[in-house]
Amino acid sequence: MFVDHKDKHVKIHTDIDHFNAINPVVTIGTFDGVHLGHQKVIARLNGFAREHGGESVIFTFYPHPRLVTKAGASDLRLLTTLEEKKELFARSGVDHLIVYPFTKSFSELTYAEFVKQILVDKMKTHCLVVGYDHRFGKNREGSFEYLQSCADQYGFLIEKLEALLVDEANVSSTRIRNALQDGRIENANRNLGYRYTLHGTVVEGQRVGRKMGFPTANIEASDPYKLIPGYGVYAVEVKLSGNTYKGMLNIGTRPTFNKNADNRSIEVNIFNFEGDLYHKEVTLVFTGKIREEQKFSGVEALTEQLKKDKIAALKILSDD
């Protein structure tokens, strides 16, 4: 879990031509999700920086490398948007965040060129901290053994961390994505170290829920590549206009095209809320799954189920 560093300000860089840090202790990666495994690396990064009288530096990229290096990356599903990652990195207490533009020419750099041109010449890296499965550079040639030889050549330190185990399995972004797509919210949250969130905007809906006493807001995700959890009914917190509400949310199929990943519909019923929501920005915080999506014989049967769903949602949210 995160140790919050709200009082600490992270310096964000989008280029490194004039980058300046004291004895930079650096780690590199896409860090999708900034999950418990990533948090372990960052905690060690911060600790190592303190030990060496230096400053911690995270080097990440935007856009996601797959959008640049692989044609047809329409199946890309991300746990975190860039803004979410910035917030999570700030909470981690890191000193510097470099969001480096990932371009075609950058993707063609060999690992030796990356180390010499970026880590050594521009960043003056003092120490590099890498995860257990670190591979970087063109054709993923940057193995730990190769990196160790670069460290010896250029005179910087290197530290390798082993995999973090949760539920006797390695924490990974892929494992968390699979859990979310299966609707296993509690499992995903446990591996993330925080509750999964989705930012979006309220758009026009069919107003069917209003007629049953359960008005819903239809949400369009703010990022088309953001992973939408699997079909089903969920207990969520809803952050809206500086306030937090409890609610229940249905993820299903929408026959017409929309911008959400996998064309999924997202409809949330916000408890104890009245007012116009159209075009408002909301944040959905996934807490638990209530049930699978299902068809009902009619409006009465659906209404009765929604009443049960609300009771279940309130229990999940109160137990959290």
Amino acid at 302: L
102 vs 136, residue with greater confidence:
102
Q: Is residue 65 reached through a cis peptide bond, with omega within 30 degrees of 0 on the bond before it?
A: no
Position 71 confidence tier, pLDDT thresholds 50, 70, 90: low
Q: Does residue 11 lie within any of the structural domains?
A: no
Average pLDDT over residues 281-301: 91
CATH assignment at residue 146: 3.40.50.620
What confidence score (pLDDT) does residue 311 get?
97
pTM for the whole structure: 0.88
Residues 161, 222: one domain?
A: no
How many structural domains does the chain have?
A: 2
Amino acid at 228: I
What confidence score (pLDDT) does residue 235 get?
98
End-to-end CA distance of the chain: 15
Q: For residue 262, report the phi and psi dihedrals to the nearest 5 degrees.
A: 60, 20
Residues 230, 99: one domain?
A: no
Average pLDDT over residues 90-113: 92
Residues 47, 110: one domain?
A: yes
What confidence score (pLDDT) does residue 135 get?
60
Residue 259 has pLDDT above 80, yes or no: no
256 vs 98, residue with greater confidence:
98
Residues 258, 212: one domain?
A: yes
Residue 144 has pLDDT above 90, yes or no: no
Last residue of a domain, one of 145, 166, 187: 166
Residues 159, 24: one domain?
A: yes
User: How many CA atoms, within 13 angstroms, populate the side-chain half-sphere of residue 244?
Assistant: 6
254 with 208: CB under 8 angstroms?
A: no
Residues 185-220 have pLDDT tens digits of 999 999 999 999 999 999 976 555 555 568 889 999
Q: For residue 172, report the phi and psi dihedrals to the nearest 5 degrees.
A: -150, 155
Last residue of a domain, one of 114, 148, 166: 166
Q: Does residue 77 lie within any of the structural domains?
A: yes
Residues 25, 143: one domain?
A: yes
Average pLDDT over residues 73-84: 90
Residues 154, 205: one domain?
A: no
Q: Does residue 10 lie within any of the structural domains?
A: no
Q: Does residue 240 lie within any of the structural domains?
A: yes
CATH assignment at residue 272: 2.40.30.30
> What's the domain range around 70?
20-166
Structure tokens at 273: 């809320």
Residue 299 has pLDDT above 60, yes or no: yes
Structure tokens at 205: 């809906």
Q: Does residue 68 lie within any of the structural domains?
A: yes
Q: Does residue 13 lie within any of the structural domains?
A: no
Average pLDDT over residues 178-184: 97
Residues 121-141 have pLDDT tens digits of 999 999 998 876 666 655 556
Strand partners of residue 57: 26, 96
Residues 114, 157: one domain?
A: yes
Average pLDDT over residues 135-156: 78
Last residue of a domain, one of 166, 182, 209: 166
Reduced DSSP (H G I as helix, E B as strand, rest coil) percent helix, strand, coil of the chain, to 5: 35, 25, 40
Residues 217-255 have pLDDT tens digits of 999 999 999 999 999 999 999 999 999 999 999 999 854
Residues 284, 159: one domain?
A: no
Residues 149, 58: one domain?
A: yes
Residues 160, 279: one domain?
A: no
What confidence score (pLDDT) does residue 256 get?
47
Residues 110, 155: one domain?
A: yes
What confidence score (pLDDT) does residue 103 get?
92
Average pLDDT over residues 17-32: 93
Q: Does residue 181 lie within any of the structural domains?
A: no
Q: Does residue 180 lie within any of the structural domains?
A: no
- Tokens 């300046």 belong to 20
Structure tokens at 255: 């026959």
